[in-house]
Amino acid sequence: MLNRIRSAVASALKPVASSLAALGLSPNQITVIGLVVSVLSAYVFYLSYPLWGGILLLLAGFFDIIDGAVARITGKVTKLGGILDSILDRYSDLIVIGAILLAGLCDPLWGIIAMIGSVMVSYIRARGEVEGVNMSSVGLMERAERMVILAISAIVGYTWAGIILLAILTHITVAQRLWHLMRSLSPR
């Protein structure tokens, strides 16, 4: 859902992306900065400061958007960059949810279910794309939505509710994507 407006957001952030490119930052460096901010967010969550963890998670999301914008501006869009971005996004997702779980900010079962769902949403997309199926914007909970729900729930003091929402909605998204794949790959 939010990925549909991603290009509009990227256009609005073009001046920032141009500035970062002018500083000599590569898209991959910005991706790594985003991971570092996610790790800081996780650490703050682990220390049981969900408000600041949520704010840092939104900042990490900013870097997740801006790295692609810098890649397009500088003409450095590469397959390797896309793979690096995807891998570091998975680490980020799991580190943040894991820290929330370890801090006791959510029920452990819901935290584990949310972790599994977050990984499976990304896995089914990658698997579908390997088979040549366009998986963009299929399902409710792409990464941007997951980050926003978790960050906002933490900022307003209901981290546990954000984790429950992730746990439920990520698995609904997996089912939506599986249905889309089955329809796309079935002989007609």
Q: What are the residue numbers of the active site? A: 89
End-to-end CA separation in angstroms for the chain: 28
Contact 20/66 with Cβ under 8 angstroms? yes
Q: How far apart, in whole angstroms, are the C-alpha atoms of residue 132 and residue 126?
A: 10
What angle is formed at CA 52 by the lines to CA 22 and CA 14, rounded to 5 degrees?
25
Q: Which of these, 107, 138, 112, lies nearest to 125 by C-alpha position?
A: 138
Q: How far apart, in whole angstroms, are the C-alpha atoms of residue 127 and residue 139?
A: 15
Contact 64/86 with Cβ under 8 angstroms? no
Q: Which amino acid is at 19?
A: S
Torsional sign, CA 164, 67, 15, 42? positive
